[in-house]
Amino acid sequence: MSRVTALRKNSLVELIFIVAIAIFLALAVQAYAVKPYRIPSGSMEPTLDVGERVLVQRVTTRLGSDPAIGDIIVFHPPAGADAIPAACGAPAQRGTPCAKPTKSRSDQTFIKRVVAVGGDTVSVRNGLAVVNGRTQPAPFAASCAGGEGCNMPRSITVPKGSVFLMGDNRGNSDDSRFWGPVPDGWVIGKAFATYWPPGRIGVR
Protein backbone atom coordinates (compact mmCIF):
# COMPACT_ATOMS: atom_id res chain seq x y z
CA MET A 1 0.00 0.00 0.00
CA SER A 2 1.41 3.36 -1.03
CA ARG A 3 1.85 6.18 1.44
CA VAL A 4 -0.78 8.28 -0.42
CA THR A 5 -3.31 5.43 -0.25
CA ALA A 6 -2.62 4.93 3.46
CA LEU A 7 -3.08 8.65 4.13
CA ARG A 8 -6.39 8.66 2.24
CA LYS A 9 -7.58 5.63 4.19
CA ASN A 10 -6.63 7.24 7.50
CA SER A 11 -8.37 10.47 6.49
CA LEU A 12 -11.54 8.55 5.60
CA VAL A 13 -11.50 6.72 8.94
CA GLU A 14 -10.97 10.03 10.74
CA LEU A 15 -13.86 11.65 8.84
CA ILE A 16 -16.20 8.76 9.65
CA PHE A 17 -15.18 8.98 13.31
CA ILE A 18 -15.78 12.76 13.42
CA VAL A 19 -19.20 12.40 11.76
CA ALA A 20 -20.17 9.65 14.21
CA ILE A 21 -19.13 11.81 17.18
CA ALA A 22 -21.05 14.77 15.76
CA ILE A 23 -24.22 12.67 15.35
CA PHE A 24 -23.84 11.30 18.87
CA LEU A 25 -23.42 14.79 20.34
CA ALA A 26 -26.42 16.11 18.38
CA LEU A 27 -28.61 13.26 19.66
CA ALA A 28 -27.34 13.75 23.20
CA VAL A 29 -28.06 17.49 23.09
CA GLN A 30 -31.59 16.86 21.80
CA ALA A 31 -32.26 14.18 24.41
CA TYR A 32 -30.92 16.01 27.44
CA ALA A 33 -30.48 19.71 26.72
CA VAL A 34 -32.37 21.28 23.79
CA LYS A 35 -35.25 19.88 21.76
CA PRO A 36 -37.09 21.38 18.77
CA TYR A 37 -40.87 21.62 18.93
CA ARG A 38 -43.45 22.50 16.25
CA ILE A 39 -46.49 24.57 17.28
CA PRO A 40 -49.48 22.36 16.37
CA SER A 41 -52.44 24.68 16.98
CA GLY A 42 -53.51 28.29 17.35
CA SER A 43 -53.87 28.17 21.14
CA MET A 44 -50.74 30.29 21.68
CA GLU A 45 -51.49 32.95 19.07
CA PRO A 46 -50.49 35.73 18.65
CA THR A 47 -47.27 34.82 20.51
CA LEU A 48 -46.67 31.59 18.58
CA ASP A 49 -48.22 30.84 15.20
CA VAL A 50 -49.30 27.44 13.87
CA GLY A 51 -46.29 25.72 12.31
CA GLU A 52 -43.78 27.94 14.08
CA ARG A 53 -40.80 26.02 15.45
CA VAL A 54 -39.29 26.71 18.85
CA LEU A 55 -36.36 25.42 20.85
CA VAL A 56 -37.12 23.97 24.28
CA GLN A 57 -34.34 23.84 26.85
CA ARG A 58 -34.56 20.88 29.23
CA VAL A 59 -31.52 21.53 31.41
CA THR A 60 -33.15 23.55 34.19
CA THR A 61 -36.06 21.11 34.36
CA ARG A 62 -33.69 18.17 34.73
CA LEU A 63 -31.80 20.04 37.43
CA GLY A 64 -35.01 20.45 39.41
CA SER A 65 -35.79 24.09 38.65
CA ASP A 66 -39.53 24.80 38.88
CA PRO A 67 -41.38 26.72 36.13
CA ALA A 68 -42.12 30.38 36.88
CA ILE A 69 -45.08 32.61 36.05
CA GLY A 70 -44.71 33.88 32.49
CA ASP A 71 -42.70 30.90 31.25
CA ILE A 72 -43.88 29.22 28.04
CA ILE A 73 -43.42 25.51 28.62
CA VAL A 74 -43.84 22.21 26.81
CA PHE A 75 -45.36 19.48 28.96
CA HIS A 76 -47.45 16.34 29.09
CA PRO A 77 -51.08 17.23 29.86
CA PRO A 78 -53.34 15.05 32.01
CA ALA A 79 -54.95 12.06 30.31
CA GLY A 80 -58.23 13.14 28.78
CA ALA A 81 -57.12 16.72 28.12
CA ASP A 82 -57.92 16.24 24.44
CA ALA A 83 -61.38 14.75 25.06
CA ILE A 84 -64.58 16.68 24.29
CA PRO A 85 -65.29 17.93 26.86
CA ALA A 86 -61.88 17.74 28.49
CA ALA A 87 -61.60 15.41 31.47
CA CYS A 88 -61.17 17.02 34.87
CA GLY A 89 -59.97 15.00 37.86
CA ALA A 90 -62.48 16.66 40.22
CA PRO A 91 -66.23 17.23 39.98
CA ALA A 92 -66.69 20.24 37.72
CA GLN A 93 -68.38 23.31 39.23
CA ARG A 94 -69.78 25.97 36.97
CA GLY A 95 -67.76 29.17 37.08
CA THR A 96 -64.74 27.42 38.63
CA PRO A 97 -61.51 26.34 36.90
CA CYS A 98 -60.74 22.62 37.06
CA ALA A 99 -59.11 22.14 40.47
CA LYS A 100 -57.51 18.74 39.90
CA PRO A 101 -56.09 16.89 36.88
CA THR A 102 -56.74 13.25 36.12
CA LYS A 103 -54.29 10.93 37.85
CA SER A 104 -52.29 9.86 34.81
CA ARG A 105 -50.50 11.94 32.21
CA SER A 106 -51.02 11.82 28.48
CA ASP A 107 -48.25 10.86 26.05
CA GLN A 108 -49.08 13.95 24.02
CA THR A 109 -47.17 17.21 24.36
CA PHE A 110 -48.80 20.64 24.74
CA ILE A 111 -47.35 24.13 24.93
CA LYS A 112 -48.87 26.84 27.16
CA ARG A 113 -47.92 29.74 29.43
CA VAL A 114 -47.57 29.46 33.22
CA VAL A 115 -50.01 31.87 34.91
CA ALA A 116 -49.90 30.53 38.48
CA VAL A 117 -47.76 28.16 40.55
CA GLY A 118 -48.23 25.91 43.55
CA GLY A 119 -49.95 27.60 46.49
CA ASP A 120 -51.48 30.40 44.40
CA THR A 121 -55.22 30.97 44.23
CA VAL A 122 -56.44 31.50 40.69
CA SER A 123 -59.67 32.49 38.97
CA VAL A 124 -60.37 33.97 35.53
CA ARG A 125 -61.93 37.32 34.63
CA ASN A 126 -62.38 38.43 31.02
CA GLY A 127 -59.80 35.85 29.99
CA LEU A 128 -57.19 37.16 32.43
CA ALA A 129 -55.81 35.12 35.30
CA VAL A 130 -56.60 36.56 38.71
CA VAL A 131 -53.80 35.28 40.94
CA ASN A 132 -54.00 35.79 44.70
CA GLY A 133 -56.69 38.40 44.14
CA ARG A 134 -54.75 40.43 41.56
CA THR A 135 -55.57 40.47 37.87
CA GLN A 136 -52.43 39.60 35.92
CA PRO A 137 -51.83 41.86 32.89
CA ALA A 138 -51.35 39.93 29.66
CA PRO A 139 -50.51 42.30 26.79
CA PHE A 140 -49.30 39.30 24.80
CA ALA A 141 -52.71 37.56 24.90
CA ALA A 142 -55.57 37.67 22.42
CA SER A 143 -58.93 38.90 23.68
CA CYS A 144 -61.14 36.18 25.12
CA ALA A 145 -64.18 37.68 23.37
CA GLY A 146 -66.72 36.08 25.69
CA GLY A 147 -65.88 32.46 24.91
CA GLU A 148 -66.23 29.54 27.31
CA GLY A 149 -63.81 29.89 30.20
CA CYS A 150 -63.47 33.67 29.84
CA ASN A 151 -65.07 34.16 33.24
CA MET A 152 -64.49 31.69 36.06
CA PRO A 153 -64.93 33.88 39.14
CA ARG A 154 -64.70 31.11 41.75
CA SER A 155 -61.06 30.56 42.64
CA ILE A 156 -59.14 27.34 43.18
CA THR A 157 -55.80 26.78 44.89
CA VAL A 158 -53.04 25.34 42.72
CA PRO A 159 -51.54 22.28 44.47
CA LYS A 160 -47.94 22.52 45.63
CA GLY A 161 -45.57 21.19 42.98
CA SER A 162 -47.94 22.08 40.14
CA VAL A 163 -48.51 24.89 37.65
CA PHE A 164 -51.66 26.42 36.20
CA LEU A 165 -51.41 26.98 32.45
CA MET A 166 -53.28 29.02 29.86
CA GLY A 167 -52.86 29.56 26.15
CA ASP A 168 -52.29 33.11 24.95
CA ASN A 169 -55.29 32.73 22.63
CA ARG A 170 -57.57 32.92 25.65
CA GLY A 171 -60.83 32.36 23.78
CA ASN A 172 -59.53 29.37 21.82
CA SER A 173 -57.33 27.33 24.12
CA ASP A 174 -57.95 24.08 25.97
CA ASP A 175 -55.85 24.50 29.08
CA SER A 176 -55.80 24.24 32.87
CA ARG A 177 -59.15 26.00 33.06
CA PHE A 178 -60.70 22.80 31.74
CA TRP A 179 -58.32 19.95 32.69
CA GLY A 180 -56.56 21.28 35.77
CA PRO A 181 -53.09 22.14 37.06
CA VAL A 182 -50.10 20.15 35.79
CA PRO A 183 -47.56 18.52 38.14
CA ASP A 184 -44.02 19.89 37.73
CA GLY A 185 -42.85 16.37 36.95
CA TRP A 186 -44.84 16.39 33.71
CA VAL A 187 -43.00 19.46 32.42
CA ILE A 188 -40.54 18.77 29.58
CA GLY A 189 -38.89 22.17 29.34
CA LYS A 190 -39.11 25.89 28.67
CA ALA A 191 -39.44 27.33 25.17
CA PHE A 192 -36.74 29.99 24.84
CA ALA A 193 -36.36 30.79 21.12
CA THR A 194 -38.05 30.57 17.74
CA TYR A 195 -35.87 29.28 14.91
CA TRP A 196 -38.43 29.02 12.09
CA PRO A 197 -39.77 30.74 10.01
CA PRO A 198 -36.95 33.24 9.43
CA GLY A 199 -39.18 36.25 10.00
CA ARG A 200 -40.05 35.00 13.50
CA ILE A 201 -36.53 34.13 14.69
CA GLY A 202 -35.92 35.46 18.15
CA VAL A 203 -35.67 34.81 21.88
CA ARG A 204 -38.89 34.27 23.82
Please list the active-site residues: 43, 112
Instruction: Give the C-alpha separation, 179 to 102, whole Å.
Output: 8
Instruction: Give the C-alpha separation, 136 to 139, whole Å.
Output: 10
The per-residue b/e assignment along 66-82, b for 16 or more CB within 10 angstroms, e otherwise, is ebeeebbbbbbbbbbbe
Are the C-beta atoms of 170 and 143 separated by less than 8 Å?
Answer: yes
Look at residues 65, 58, 64 and name the one whose alpha carbon lies nearest to residue 35.
58
Look at residues 138, 136, 102, 93 and name the one whose alpha carbon lies nearest to residue 117.
136
What are residue 116's phi and psi, to 5 degrees?
A: -160, 155
125-133 contact pairs (CB < 8 A, 24+) = 125/151, 125/153, 126/150, 126/151, 127/170, 127/171, 128/170, 129/164, 129/166, 130/155, 131/69
